[in-house]
Amino acid sequence: MTKGSLEVILPVQNKNENKTRNKMNKTKQKTVARRKGYRLLENGELWTTGRYAYMAGYVSDPGNIDNAIDNHEEELRVSSQAFLANYEGMLGNRKK
């Protein structure tokens, strides 16, 4: 690296992430319901869509997909708030 250049650090992709995404793409399950950013398979698995898709949970009744999505998004909000509160607490000790 030369003086004045920037080093770009890319996130390391987890090997399991590829397996999970490939598992979803290779599955023969029929999609029974879709919402923006989500799809529900006939076996009850609720998946996010997009490049980094992951299984968001299970839904026993396809009519409950909206509630399942709301619950998943609420869990994400709560966990991210908890993480940020913890992270900000660690940074608070380092302030001048």
Task: Give the model's confidence band at 1: pLDDT under 50 very low, under 70 low, under 90 confident, else very high.
Answer: very low
Write the pLDDT tens digit of every residue in 17-48: 556 555 655 567 899 999 999 999 999 999 99
pLDDT per position as a tens digit, 62-92: 999 999 999 999 999 999 999 888 887 776 6
Against a cut of 0.75, is the pTM above it? no
The Cα 59–Cα 63 span in angstroms is: 9
Q: For residue 47, what pLDDT is reported?
A: 95
What number is the average pLDDT over the span 3-18? 54
Count Cβ neighbours within 10 Å for each residue of 28-37 and write b for 16 or more, e otherwise.
eeeeebeeee
3-class DSSP state of 89? helix
Mean pLDDT of the chain: 79
